[in-house]
Structure 1
Amino acid sequence: MSNTDYYSKNELMNFIDTKPLDIEICDVTLRDGEQTPGVAFTKEEKIDLAMELDAIGVEVIEAGFPVVSSSEKEIVKEISNMGLNSNICCLARSVISDVDAAIDCDVDIVSIFIAMSDLHLKFKYHKSCADVFSCAMSSIEHAKDHGLKVRFAAEDGTRTDVETLKKAFIAAEEYKVDYVSIADTIGILSPATTHYLVSEINKVVNTPICIHCHDDLGMATANTLVAAEAGAKQLHTTVNGIGERAGNASLEELLVALRVQHGIERYDTTKLTGISNKLQEYSGLPIAVNKSVVGKHAFTHESGIHVMAILEEPRTYELFSPEMVGGKRNLIVGKHTGKKALKGIVEDLGYNLENDELCDLILKVKNCTEVKKGLSRERLETLIQTVQSHQR
C-alpha cells in the first residue's frame, strides 16, 4: 500500500475479482469529447491535452476525425508526429477516402465504423446489412494494405442482433483487424447486459475487444469496468466524461476504479485533477461539485463526526487520498460542525484557542450568514482573529 493509497488489497479481497485484467485505455476526448454541443478545441488545446494524456500513461489517444476538415486533419497529423508514447488513433467511416485521410495523418490506428442495427440500416443508410458490411471490409482491406492497425467498430452495437454482431466480427477477423469494438451509442447497457454481451463476443473471437460506452443512463463508467471484467481489452474514456448528450465513460473515475478494485497502478493518477481543470477551461463546461474523484466536494468534509474522524485517521471517510489524484482535502465549517470538530479544524489551521474563545467562535460561526454554504478558510481565520482580539 503506497502512502497515497488508503485501501488495502487484503481488505478488498472478499469483494473483488482477483483475476488480473489485460486492459488498455483509449481516450477519445479529442474526438468524441469534442462532439459535445458547443465544444471546439483549438489546435494548441488539443496538443496540450494529448501531452497530458500521454503523461498519465494512456495507451491510445483518439486524436480526431480527419475527414471533417482540413484543419482537423492537420491537427491529427501533428499529434501523430509529436513522438508521444501513446499510439494515435483516428476515426473513419467505411469509405476509402476517409481511410486515405487517416493514412495521410500518419496515425497508428484507424477506427473504421459502421452501424448494423435495424434502425440505422433503415433510417440512416437505407441499405442492407450485407451492403454496408461489404463497404466496411473494403475499407479495412485498404487500411491494412497501407500498414495501419485497424479497429472495426460496430456503431449502435448494443442494439444490433447479437448473432449479427458475432458473424460480423468473425468475418472481420479474416481481414486481420486488430480490434473489434462494441459501441453503446445510446447508452442502453446496464452492468448485467454489458457482461453478457462482452462474454458472448469473447466466446467467438480471438481479436481484442473494445468497449465504448455512453452515459445516457448514468452507467457508462460502471459498464466499462464490467466490460473489462468480462474480457474487453480496450476501454474508451473521456476526461470529465464529456461527449455527446450525457457524455462518455469518465477517464478519472475509471482509472481510480481500476486502481482500487483491480490493483492497476501504472497510470499516473496524480495528474487527474490537473487535466480535469484544463478540460473545464478549454471546453467551458464546469463539472458538478460532487463529481467523483475530481469534483470540488470529492474531499470536502463538514459533518462534525466526519471531520473529527478525518483529523485522526483520513481512511475513516476517504477511500483514497486526495494526493493520489492530485487533489486537496477541504475541511468545512458549516451548520453541522460541532465544538470538537471546530477545535480540530482551528488547530489544523495553526491556531490554539482557549475554551472561552472556542465557545465564542462557535457562536459566531452559527450566526454567520455564510454558514449554510460553509465558511471559507479565509472567513474562518478572520473570525478566529476577531475572537482572539476580543478575549485580550
Structure 2
Amino acid sequence: MQEPWHHEKWWVSEYNFAAPVRNQLQLPEKIVVHDATLRDGEQTPGVVFRLEEKVAIARMLDELGVDRIEAGMPAVSEEDAQAIKEIVNSGLRAKIMAFSRAMPADIDRAVACGVWGIILEIPTGYPKLKYQFNWTEEEIIDKSIRAINYAHDRGLYVTYFPFDTTRARMDFLKRLFDEVMRKAKPDSIAVVDTTGSATPTAMGYLVREIKKMVSVPLEVHTHNDFGLGTATTLAAVEAGAEVVHGCINGLGERAGNTALEEVLLCLEALYGYKLQIELSKLAVISQKIAGMAGQPLAGNKPVVGTLPFTREIGLGMEVLQKSPLAIFPFLPETVGKKMEIVMGKKTGKGSVKVKLEEMGLKASEEEIEIIVQRVKAKGIAKKGILSQEEFEEIVNEVLIKKL
C-alpha cells in the first residue's frame, strides 16, 4: 500500500508526515503557483528575453500547469508591453499578471495590456525607506491605499507587494496593514524577503504574525542570497501562506529568486500536495529557459541538474538497477530526467557490467577487473569522467580477441 512518503515516484522521510510534525504546521488546503520568470527572472544581470521568447516561455509555463504568470512590467519597454499583450491574447489557462509600481501611470499600462491582475509593489523595509527612497512611513501608507483603490476601480486583481517585508519594522507593518485593510483591502498580500535574509523560522513567525493582521490570502516571494530561498518559501507555507512565487532555474537578481522547480517538487513529495503540475516537464522547460537566458545550469543543481542522476560510484549498482529508490529520493523520470552511469576514478565492477550490457558485450571477471583498473587510471589522469569513446577504446583493447 502506498504511503505519502513512498510510492512509485519517490521515497522520502516518513517523519515529514509524522503526526507530531504535521500538528505543528498550519498548511493551507490549496497552493496557488505563481511564476515570475518573465519579470523577476529576467532581472538576472545580462538576461534578455525577446518578445517571441517571452510568449514561448509563457506557453511552456502554462503547459507545466502554473496558476499564474507574471508576464513582465509594461513600463520597462514597449516590447515588454507588447509581449504581455500577446501573452494575454494567447488563450492560456493561467491567469496573467503584470508588475506595477504604486502609481497611476504603471497601473494604466497594465490595464492597457489586458492583464487579469497586478503585483503592486511598494518598499517597506527600513533600509529601503531610509537610504533608497527617502519616503516616510505615512507616505508609504497613503501611496498604498491610493494605488490599491485606483487598481480596483479599473477591475484589476491586486496582490499588494510590500517588498523588503522581512526588514520592515513590526510596528510599521501593523500600522500599514491596519490602514490598508480598512481603506483599500487588496485581494492578497505578499510577504517579500527581497534580500533573502530571513531564516526559515523567522519567515514562519512573520507569516503567522501578518495573518493575525489581515483577512486576505498571503503570498510568499523570497530570494536566495543565503541559499535559503526554497526553505523560507516552504516555511511560509507551513505557516499558512497560500501562494508561492518562484522562477525557473532560480533566475533573478544577485543569487536569484527561489527556484520554482524545487518548490514544486517539495510541495508534492515532502508535503503531499496534489498540484496540477506536470512535474515530468520540468527538465525540458529548465533546459530551454537556460538556453534562452544564456545561463547554463550547475551540474549539481537540485531537481533539474545532471549530477543528481549521474552515477560514477560502482557500489550499489545492482541495487540501483533493481530498486533505484534505495539510492535516489525520487526517480529521475519524475522530473523528466534519466539516470546516467559514467566511468571514472570511482568506477567499480558493477558499473562496468552495466555499461558492457548496454553495448551488447560480455566479459570474464578477470577482464572486467582489468577494464575497471584502466578506467580508474584514465579518470585519475584526466581528473574527470571518461567519454563514451574513451570507455569504448579501453573495452576494445581488453576484449580485442573477442571483437
Query: C-alpha displacement at 1:154, in angstroms?
Result: 0.6
Match of 1:354 in 2: 364
Is the contact between residue 4 and residue 324 of structure 1 (CA under 8 Å) also seen in structure 2?
no
Match of 1:172 in 2: 180
Is the contact between residue 187 and residue 220 of structure 1 (CA under 8 Å) also seen in structure 2?
yes
**2:110 is the alignment partner of 1:96:** no
Amino acid at match of 1:75: A
Is the contact between residue 12 and residue 270 of structure 2 (CA under 8 Å) also seen in structure 1?
no
Query: C-alpha displacement at 1:166, in angstroms?
Result: 2.9
CA distance in 1, matches of 2:153, 2:251: 34
**2:170 is the alignment partner of 1:162:** yes
**2:285 is the alignment partner of 1:275:** yes
CA distance in 2, matches of 1:295, 1:235: 22
Q: Within 5 A, what are the aligned runs for 1:348-387?
A: 348-368=358-378, 372-387=383-398
Alignment counterpart, residue 111 of structure 1, candidates 97, 116, 119: 119
Structure 1, residues 148-168: CA drift from partner, whole Å, max 9, x if none?
A: 100111111111012322332
Matched pairs, number? 392
CA distance in 2, matches of 1:358, 1:58: 49
CA distance in 1, matches of 2:240, 2:178: 17
Structure 1, residues 122-170: CA drift from partner, whole Å, max 9, x if none?
A: 2222221111221221111111011110011111111101232233223
Match of 1:14 in 2: 18
Query: C-alpha displacement at 1:349, in angstroms?
Result: 4.5
Query: C-alpha displacement at 1:277, in angstroms?
Result: 0.4
CA distance in 2, matches of 1:207, 1:92: 20
Query: C-alpha displacement at 1:244, in angstroms?
Result: 0.4
Query: C-alpha displacement at 1:234, in angstroms?
Result: 1.1
Which deviates further from its counterpart, 311-320 or 378-387?
Answer: 378-387
Match of 2:84 in 1: 76
Is the contact between residue 144 and residue 180 of structure 2 (CA under 8 Å) also seen in structure 1?
no
Structure 1, residues 46-101: CA drift from partner, whole Å, max 9, x if none?
A: 11111111111111110101111211111111111211111111111111001000
**2:64 is the alignment partner of 1:46:** no
**2:110 is the alignment partner of 1:140:** no
CA distance in 2, matches of 1:9, 1:80: 41
**2:266 is the alignment partner of 1:261:** no
CA distance in 2, matches of 1:340, 1:82: 51
CA distance in 1, matches of 2:110, 2:350: 62
Q: Within 5 A, what are the aligned runs for 1:302-341?
A: 302-341=312-351
Structure 1 runs, 4 residues or longer, greater than 4 Å off? 1-4, 8-12, 18-21
Amino acid at match of 1:6: W
After TM superposition, the score normalised by the length of structure 1 is 0.94
Amino acid at match of 2:91: G
Alignment counterpart, residue 36 of structure 2, candidates 21, 28, 40: 28
Across the aligned residues of Structure 1 and Structure 2, the Cα RMSD in angstroms comes to: 2.1
CA distance in 2, matches of 1:96, 1:13: 47
Query: C-alpha displacement at 1:270, in angstroms?
Result: 0.5
Q: Which segments of 5 or more consecutive residues in structure 2 lack a partner in the other structure?
A: none
After TM superposition, the score normalised by the length of structure 2 is 0.91
Alignment counterpart, residue 231 of structure 1, candidates 230, 240, 243: 240
